[in-house]
Amino acid sequence: MKKPFYITTPIYYPSGKLHIGSAYTTIACDVLARYKRLMGHDVYYLTGLDEHGQKIETKAEEAGLTPQAYVDGMAVGVKELWKLLDISYDKFIRTTDDYHEEVVAAVFEKLLAQDDIYLGEYSGWYSVSDEEFFTESQLEEVFRDEVGKVIGGIAPSGHEVAWVSEESYFLRLSKYQDKLVEFFTAHPDFIQPDGRMNEIMKNFIEPGLEDLAVSRTSFTWGVPVPSNPKHVIYVWIDALLNYATALGYGQEDHANFDTFWEEGTVFHMVGKDILRFHSIYWPILLMMLDMELPDRLIAHGWFVMKDGKMSKSKGNVVYPEMLVERFGLDPLRYYLMRSLPVGSDGTFTPEDYVGRINYELANDLGNLLNRTVAMINKYFGGQVPTYVENVTAFDGDLASVVAENLRAYHKNMEGVDYPRALEAVWNIISRSNKYIDETAPWVLAKEDGDKEQLAAVMAHLAASLRVVAHLIQPFMMETSNAIMEQLGLAAEFDLENLELAALPAGLTVVAKGRPIFPRLDMEAEIDYIKEQMGGGSDPVEEATEWDPATVELKNEKKAIKFEDFDAVEIRVAEVKEVAKVEGSDKLLKFRLDAGDGQDRQILSGIAKFYPNEQELVGKKLQIVANLKPRKMMGLLSQGMILSAEHDGNLTVMTVDSSVANGSQIG
């Protein structure tokens, strides 16, 4: 019997629509869950939502909903997304679930009773966006008043902090510092990739662990402390415990906890930004509760964009729904798993996305399958010939390349190095394509050719494709199933005993192979993705928000520096012409005079609000003049027209007619 395997994603804050970054972690865990299942493990895969805390309370307020109604709506959206991405989770936990709240409250009281939690006074800097406390020295930037007193600051994440001074409960982290170091020393592989543990030691443990404030009194959306309900339990304590409560810890039915926590391998995957919580607070909490510690903590890097972090205000966010709708699910799963190097950040670019689909999926893999199926049909009436080893001069090398890459694949899957695991699969694919060129079946098929060699070549190709279909099964289920189907095989997979070997006798491939990945028009598709990524504050780009979270989280912008604001060029521009855009019920096309002697074309998504758009001609508007030009519906837009949103309507910002065109606003 293999050890049961428990894998978890972080639980996400439902504070906005999830982008490809959160999709990355969830798919990465899904791949491992599927791999382990195919390797014969009993797997339990957990994901869910972190629904308490001040951030959620504020978002709900902004949306005009109660926090519960708000998170209920978001939970529906997140579950739909995981369905779209075919995530094979066994349980979806929400921290507002009753069983979870009850255990969190009980744990808090237990720790209070055993003096691992005590009541004190907290003063410090708090970032609501991160739900995290900072000391002054940890802040990226501090703001001071005229006399030099610190009055605010910016956390390393870029979010603003505010001074909090209140009665608070504290968790005695300091008492467990030595035990934590002992644990790290005894388990040098606990945190992966290597090197991260040292960072944690150097930056947080060696300077000395301070006790952590674990309750708040300034808001109410959380689990109240039973013995002192004006305090709510700190959202991170609440959240971390999800990994245990989801399995039944502290509840009557704890069979899953026994199997997967006590007897199984416990595997957490998190982004590098939340490693500290998982490598310090979580193990210490578990020590306090006298529980087993997890086996592995993987910290992955981030998907970023060319211009830095993804953010709505930058208008560079990529949502998974759009990519799936346009290109299908498998390319997304493949791209995300192939492109993020272990432990470091990776850049998402539309060029790379479309390029990988065309070169690696359509060309390398798609062609191998097409050519193989077509040749077996042509030369053998669709019957896969019997597999015999070492008939042509190239069979030996093909077999050894497959064997070597099979080993590399498993090693890298165990190490959660997906780019390398997929590289191993693509080595097999490339070697197989080369094998076709080397053996030249079209020559072997001639009158004076060699039928025996031709048969061996077809059998080897079919066998190699079967191996590939198995190896990509955790990543691309549909493609993997399609390859098996085209080879005439049932979609049954066993990664444990996989090798390049004979296929069952009497196998018939499909009569007409269908391309598994269509070739894309690179330029057009790159443009399409770019258009979809455009500026978040332009109503044209209105992201399709989840229901009832029609919760457009427009106030999500963080504080900016004066220079950032100063970089925006807002000018007065007069409307010379305006017209509806064909094929769009949202867009209006403007020709404007912004005082620079040139015609300027701007597209704006306000058609709905101006059914008689000609009334705008002659009006003087405010425009962002230095916004990078971009295309919408194939038309160039050179700026953005400012408008105010009120009661669901948009009204353009007009300026008195006496102000000259081109005047700068600021």
CB atoms within 10 A of CB 492: 7
Determine if 553 is a binding residue for ligand MSP (CB under 6 A): no
H helix or E strand, kind and range, residue 530? helix 522-533
The distance of closest approach from Cβ of residue 309 to ligand MSP in the complex, given in angstroms and rounded to an integer, is 7
Q: Which of 22, 358, 480, 643 binds ligand MSP (CB under 6 A)?
A: 22
Query: x/- binding map, residues 583-622, to ligand MSP, per CB under 6 A?
Result: ----------------------------------------
Determine if 233 is a binding residue for ligand MSP (CB under 6 A): no
Determine if 170 is a binding residue for ligand MSP (CB under 6 A): no
Determine if 21 is a binding residue for ligand MSP (CB under 6 A): yes
The distance of closest approach from Cβ of residue 24 to ligand MSP in the complex, given in angstroms and rounded to an integer, is 5
581, 588 contact by CB (below 8 A): yes
Pairing of strands 570-580, 296-300: unpaired
Q: 421-459 burial string, b = 16+ CB within 10 Å, else e?
A: bbebbbbbbebbbebbeebebeebbeeeebeebbbbbbb
Determine if 270 is a binding residue for ligand MSP (CB under 6 A): yes
Q: Which of 240, 365, 495, 526 binds ligand MSP (CB under 6 A)?
A: 240
Q: What is the DSSP code (8-state) at residue 622? A: E
Determine if 129 is a binding residue for ligand MSP (CB under 6 A): no
Q: Which of residues 282-321 bind ligand MSP (CB under 6 A)?
A: 302-303, 310
113, 129 contact by CB (below 8 A): no
423, 471 contact by CB (below 8 A): no
Q: Which of residues 48-87 bind ligand MSP (CB under 6 A)?
A: 50
The distance of closest approach from Cβ of residue 548 to ligand MSP in the complex, given in angstroms and rounded to an integer, is 20
The distance of closest approach from Cβ of residue 519 to ligand MSP in the complex, given in angstroms and rounded to an integer, is 29
Residues binding ligand MSP: number (CB under 6 A): 19
607, 586 contact by CB (below 8 A): yes
Q: Kindly report each contact of residues 173-179 with a partner whose C-beta sits within 8 Å and lies 24 or more positions away, as own/partner.
A: 173/209, 173/210, 173/211, 173/212, 173/280, 173/281, 173/284, 174/208, 174/209, 174/210, 174/211, 175/116, 176/209, 176/284, 176/287, 176/288, 177/205, 177/208, 177/209, 179/284, 179/287
Q: How far apart are the first and last CA of the chain?
A: 70
DSSP class per residue in 174-200: GGGHHHHHHHHHH-TTSEESTTHHHHH
Burial of 49 (0-12, 13-18, 19+ CB in 10 A): buried
H helix or E strand, kind and range, residue 20? helix 20-38
- For ligand MSP, the closer CB: 240 or 462: 240
Determine if 11 is a binding residue for ligand MSP (CB under 6 A): yes
Determine if 412 is a binding residue for ligand MSP (CB under 6 A): no
Determine if 10 is a binding residue for ligand MSP (CB under 6 A): yes
Q: Which residues pair with 183 in a beta bridge?
A: none
Q: Which of 13, 44, 108, 169 binds ligand MSP (CB under 6 A)?
A: 13
The distance of closest approach from Cβ of residue 561 to ligand MSP in the complex, given in angstroms and rounded to an integer, is 22
The residue number whose beta carbon is nearest to ligand MSP equals 271
The distance of closest approach from Cβ of residue 18 to ligand MSP in the complex, given in angstroms and rounded to an integer, is 8
Determine if 223 is a binding residue for ligand MSP (CB under 6 A): no
Considering only the stretches 120-128, 268-276, 414-422, 556-564, report the one whose residues sit in contact with ligand MSP under the rule CB under 6 A. Answer: 268-276
For binding to ligand MSP (CB under 6 A), which residues are involved? 10-13, 21-22, 24-25, 50, 239-240, 242, 270-271, 273-274, 302-303, 310
